[in-house]
Amino acid sequence: MVQVPPLPALRLTLGVTGHREDNPSFAAHRHAVAAVLAEICDTIQSGLAGEALALGPIEPVRLYGLLADGTDQMVAAMALALGWEVIAPLPFGRALYRAVASHTATGADARALLEGRPPADPQVLERALALDRIFETVRLFELAERDSEVSNALLAMLDDPGCAAKTQTFSACCSERVALAGRVMIEQADIVIAVWDGATRSLVGGTGHTIARTLQQNGAVICIDPAAPSDWRIMQSPEALVTRPPAEGRDAVLRRLIRSALRPESDAQLPAGVASLGDEAWPSRSHPLSGGYRRIEAMFSGDGRPFRPLALRYEPPEAFASGSGAPLLADIRALPGLDGDFAGNVERSLLRRFAWADGISTHLSDAYRGGMVANFVLSSLAIAAGIAYQPLGAQKWFFAGIEFLLLIAIILITWQGVRRRWHSRWFTTRRVAEYLRHAPILLALGVARPPGRWPQGIYTSWPEYYARAALREVGLPAAPMTHEYLRTAMTRLLSPHVAEQRDYHIGKARRLRHVHHSLDRISETLFILAVVSVSIYLLIEIAAATGLLAEGFPHAASKVFTFLGVCFPTFGAAIAGIRYFGDFERFSAISRITAERLDGLDRRIEILAADDEARIDYAVVAQLAHDMDSIVVSEIESWQAVFAGKQITVPV
């Protein structure tokens, strides 16, 4: 019995950014800010309770924050008290973060913290121990690949506090790392809570900069001015930074944001599509009568063996980890420093769901596209059968009966395709499968597509919601992003996947282009034969009229030439219809462009991988993963644009 993967858990994710303890406005209004933050957290909690009445169980909120003193730690403490999960994307490794966030004033104390020894300054020690207590209760995602460089800059600044250049160097390094960690937080959060006085957005990694980047990614920000915390507002576009959105109705807007994060659409219940994915009957193998489309590809792609067996066996989700998914899981487990059962979570949350969606989608693709090909072929055969009695000199009723049965078969295929929604079910399950295909690589690198940047489906958005929820079940890996980790992830996960997908699209583009031109030639040849057959008959008539042939010969030959004159263009039109329906040329062009983009990405990866001395920076590797994701999503959107309106129908 095939195990159906459960639906992804419902979860709201929040991000937090804001002023630190040394900000004058925050320090002056700390208690008022804390009260408003607690009120907002309670409002979110009650909003989730209301959603749970309609949607069922909802997982505890997941909060992402950098754990800076002030706002970050304040909200993290509130989150833990509410039973929420806290994940901290740190801009440095744990030891360096302790040294920086403990506000060490001397190089000796910084060295002690970096080496795991207690510092001499009791206040620094107290702050370091407080961080240690927080670290024990949260999951850490550490951007540690540049710790050596940043540590040197920190020590150089502390050893020579009067040198402005050294202070500026460390500040620049620190700001860059904080901005990078902030990007990780933004990509994960449905809503960002920010405490900001509105003073500046130019400081890289600062609160204003983080808010601006969130809004540029179509995110939502709950913004609290520490000088007037009760007048908090919700920003949903970059224009809100200068227009100051009204505070009226903010509770309703917040509830609407929570609702939209938990539901793919505005319905009271999740759309039927989400639940129906789990209700699909698992096809252990392909149906022998539904492979018409794949047979067309086999016959006209130029790959040889046009009549080779095309039967498929679908790999069950529970067997995927020990089968096709085994190499990927082995590579994930090989990532150095990975804590916990990350590979197991990936297998349960992503690979099983990918295998399920991929198998269902492939089966529906055969049914939908094979059914449409069958309709074109059957319609031509019906016409041919309807007039075949003439050249054979047989009774018309027998051939009319064959024509009737063929027409009934067309109606039944079309009715079944419409009733069972082959097109829409294939369309949505294929989107789910393609989103999940490369998701483990994104997760291993802590990369995600921001909630506001997911593509919108033409008719439904639940596949995007389903894939995003599946990714969120896993969350960020508990691992330091060291040079070794990043190089391993790049060479063993990212590079092979990009190369494999590039080669797949190169082959696909070539096959589909060959199919298109082959069908085009056949269709043109049949049309020419139709012209030739009509021309021969007209020449026979002329020859009989001029006495070159017997007077009764045209009548004797007319039935054969009538049959040919009808069949040649009919089958030519059917071939042209299959070519139009399959859109082989456009899909070939889409795959060719995708392959070119993937090839460019592969060359960039090879340049980095070939240099053993290259500094593998998280920002660079994360951008490579983002670019791969963008290529995949672009290909999905192009594919949707071609096939969205091609419903199964009677070929008329």
Strand order in the sheet with 233-235: 233-235, 220-224, 191-195, 13-18, 62-65, 85-90, 139-142, 479-480
Q: Cα separation of 519 and 540, whole Å?
A: 31
Q: What pLDDT is stored for residue 274 in this prediction? A: 66
Q: What pLDDT is stored for residue 273 in this prediction? A: 57
The amino acid sitting at 335 is: L
Q: What pLDDT is stored for residue 266 in this prediction? A: 46
What kind and span of H or E run contains 16?
Answer: strand 13-18
CB-CB contact of 86 with 63 (8 Å): yes
pLDDT digits (tens, 9 = 90+) for 200-230: 887 888 999 999 999 999 999 999 999 999 9
Q: What pLDDT is stored for residue 424 in this prediction? A: 86
Other C-beta atoms within 10 Å of 244: how many?
12
CB-CB contact of 449 with 464 (8 Å): no
Long-range contacts of 207-210 (CB under 8 A, 24+ apart): 207/17, 207/18, 207/19, 207/71, 209/179, 209/182, 210/17, 210/179, 210/182, 210/185, 210/186
Average pLDDT, whole number, for the chain? 91
CB-CB contact of 476 with 66 (8 Å): no
Q: Cα separation of 78 and 276, whole Å?
A: 38
| Strand-pair category, 85-90 with 13-18 | unpaired
CA distances from residue 109 to 32, 115, 121, 135 in whole angstroms, order as listed: 34, 10, 7, 20
Who wins on pLDDT, 85 or 282? 85
CB-CB contact of 331 with 490 (8 Å): no
pLDDT digits (tens, 9 = 90+) for 564-601: 989 999 999 999 999 988 889 999 999 999 999 999 99
pLDDT digits (tens, 9 = 90+) for 305-344: 888 888 889 999 999 999 999 999 999 999 999 987 899 9
| Strand-pair category, 479-480 with 139-142 | parallel
Q: What pLDDT is stored for residue 271 in this prediction? A: 52
The residue ranges of DSSP E strands in 114-244, in sequence order, are 139-142, 191-195, 220-224, 233-235
Which residues have C-beta within 8 Å of that of residue 45, sequence separation ≥ 6?
Answer: 61, 82
What kind and span of H or E run contains 15?
Answer: strand 13-18
Instruction: Write out the two tokens for 360.
Output: 């269902």
Q: What pLDDT is stored for residue 268 in this prediction? A: 44
CB-CB contact of 637 with 590 (8 Å): no
Q: What pLDDT is stored for residue 267 in this prediction? A: 46
Mean pLDDT of 92-114: 94
% of the chain beyond a pLDDT of 90: 70
Mean pLDDT of 488-515: 96
pLDDT digits (tens, 9 = 90+) for 394-429: 788 898 999 999 999 999 999 999 998 888 888 889
Mean pLDDT of 92-112: 94
Instruction: Return phi, psi of residue 16, to 5°.
Output: -140, 140
Q: What pLDDT is stored for residue 296 in this prediction? A: 92
CB-CB contact of 448 with 420 (8 Å): no
Which residues have C-beta within 8 Å of that of residue 528, sequence separation ≥ 6?
Answer: none
CB-CB contact of 494 with 621 (8 Å): yes
Q: What pLDDT is stored for residue 168 in this prediction? A: 94
Q: What pLDDT is stored for residue 585 in this prediction? A: 92
- The terminus-to-terminus CA distance of the chain in angstroms comes to 42
Query: Does 650 have pLDDT greater than 90?
Result: no
Long-range contacts of 235-243 (CB under 8 A, 24+ apart): 235/211, 238/212, 240/215, 241/201, 241/211, 241/212, 241/215
Q: Cα separation of 114 and 144, whole Å?
A: 13
Residue 596's SS3 state is helix
How distant is the alpha carbon of residue 552 from its chain centre?
A: 70
Question: Per-domain residue ranges for the chain?
Answer: 30-236, 292-643
Sign of torsion over alpha carbons 355, 439, 428, 53:
positive
Model confidence band, residue 652 (pLDDT cutoffs 50, 70, 90) = low
Q: Cα separation of 155 and 108, whole Å?
A: 9
Instruction: Write out the two tokens for 515.
Output: 């199919």
